[in-house]
Amino acid sequence: MTTGSSGPGLLADTLKYLPVNLIQALSSIVMVVVFTRVLDPAGFGRYVLAMAAIQVGMGLGFYWLQGGSVRFYAAHGTGPDRARFSGTIWSAALAIGIVVGCAAVALGALPGLAAPWHLMLPLTGITMVVRAWAMICLELHRAAREPGWYSALECTQFIVSIALGTVLAARPDIAELGPLLAQIVGNLIILVVALPRLLARLGLARPSRAIAVEMWTYGQPLALAFALTLGLSVGDRFVIAWLLDEAAVGIYGVAASLAERPLAIIFAWIGMAVTPVLYQITHEHQGARAKEVATRTMAHNFELLTAVALPAAAGIMLLAGPIAAVMAGAAFSPHVAALMPWIALAALFQGLMAHYVAHPFHIMRRTRALLWTGLMLVPVSVGLNLLLIPLVGLPGVALAALIAALLAIAVRLRLARAMLPVPLPVQPVLRAAAATLAMACAVVVVQPGLAPLADLLLRIATGGVVYAVAAYALNVADLRVRLRPYLPRPRRSRPADR
């Protein structure tokens, strides 16, 4: 795809990443459906805490390598120093992995730990390392503009992890350890398949200090900012465990999986396609031309985000009760339904913060500004949680996340516009909002009164059809223009023969 045709090309690349994101969304649903029926709230809460630790740990320890792999692939991954580029990445990944693994085993050996944690802590560390190495493989495929390989590998990992995790979690002697063991196996499959292929292409030579410094200088602030962003979105699980208990963590974790996770997948899906394009633009163009093309690409990105994320968030908010009743176990569903609308609203703005407003900082390599804004938000988020959880309970966690995300958007948008024009086109938002309103009316009106699952599926299908028709009529994200070449053209009547 050429940068000059960022609109249609961006949509094409976005669609290529659709299968892996559909599988990821499906795996999240299956995880909730199965794990909330084989684990009690406390057991699910411990699994949620382990996954939160994995996400934050990967951000702190490995994200600079993942981000640097994509950012500098165009400069080093296709040139004569590609072997040293590869050697730098994998030497650092191996060293960090050994440190993390040893630390996790040592923590698990500490005296006084509750029974599950002396096994969960080492497994959490090992899962983190294997997943981080697998993610580096996937990011190198994404940087090389190979969405097919990325999707195939990640889909396989999701399927194996969920299937094996379900079998293991159903065993009382394994329980919440099962999903972690399954993820280790699933990500090892990625390493076994992808790593030899990548090494055959890139080679492996002695690490380059210059490349390492370049990646660290770019990626370290980005990694800290990413870890802080994750801390704002999943760190509240630890606050819940401290102020309430592990069962409350489990309930909030289920609500987040059903409300926040689908939106996070949508934002990441579109971001998968746009990020390499933006990096390629800065590599191919300079100065005002680079800013012009990047701004145009960001505008297309914003239209896609609003066209997909806005109706998704509205649908989750409107159907929270039926979704929770069908998806979550009986011990979870009443509490989950009350939390989902607040979490979906917060997740919408968190996604815009991380996958749109942050892009200028990546493009202009001003990642330290992301770090400082993230540091600023930590005390705000923690303070809001400490204030709101005792006052209103678990809904206070989502409310704190919403306020923090809005503040982050305001601050980062002001800083970003000093570097790059950040388009916030109003008309695409209004068109998407109008189509979403039509969808919402249909979802509210349709009350078929069928069995819970059939009722939910029918309302989702009705809302989807209404939104699609309204989006086409209103030309949301240029949908009518993009579909025109694929639609049958009316035949012209031939003049009568004389």
Phi, psi of 72 (to 5 degrees): -110, 10
pTM of model > 0.85: no
**Which residue stretches of 39-176 are H helix?**
41-61, 63-71, 82-108, 117-143, 147-169
Q: Has residue 290 got a pLDDT over 80?
A: no
Q: Give the residue among 322, 315, 327 at the shortest CA–CA distance from 464.
A: 315
Better-scored residue on pLDDT, 75 or 463 = 463
User: Is residue 498 very low, low, confident or very high in pLDDT (cuts 50, 70, 90)?
Assistant: very low
Contact 440, 470 (CB under 8 A): no
What average pLDDT does the structure give for the chain? 85
Contact 276, 66 (CB under 8 A): no
Q: How far is CA 61 from CA 143, 195, 223, in A?
A: 20, 20, 8
Cα–Cα distance, 259 to 336 (Å, whole number): 9
CA angle 8, 306, 414 (to 5 degrees): 105
Contact 106, 97 (CB under 8 A): no
Question: Length of the chain in residues, anyone?
Answer: 498
Percent of the chain with pLDDT over 70: 88
Average pLDDT over residues 243-249: 92
- Per-residue model confidence as pLDDT tens digits over 416-430: 888 777 778 889 899
Please tell me whether residue 252 adopts helix, strand or coil conformation: helix
Give the Cβ contact number of residue 389 at 10 Å.
Answer: 22
**What pLDDT is recorded for position 376?**
81
Q: Where are the domains of the chain?
A: 3-424, 425-482
Cα–Cα distance, 85 to 203 (Å, whole number): 9
Contact 213, 86 (CB under 8 A): no
Give the Cβ contact number of residue 350 at 10 Å.
Answer: 25
Give the Cβ contact number of residue 494 at 10 Å.
Answer: 6
CB-based burial, 2-16: b 16+ in 10 Å, e otherwise: ebeebbebbbebbeb
For the ranges 55-59, 362-366, 435-439, which has the lowest average pLDDT? 362-366
User: Is residue 128 very low, low, confident or very high in pLDDT (cuts 50, 70, 90)?
Assistant: very high
Written as one string, the DSSP assignment of 123-142 is HHHHHHHHHHHHHHHHHHHH
- In terms of average pLDDT, the best of 49-53, 61-65, 432-436, 447-451 is 432-436
Distance from chain centroid for Cα 372 = 22
Cα–Cα distance, 182 to 202 (Å, whole number): 30
Contact 275, 256 (CB under 8 A): no
Cα–Cα distance, 48 to 60 (Å, whole number): 18
CA angle 232, 234, 235 (to 5 degrees): 65
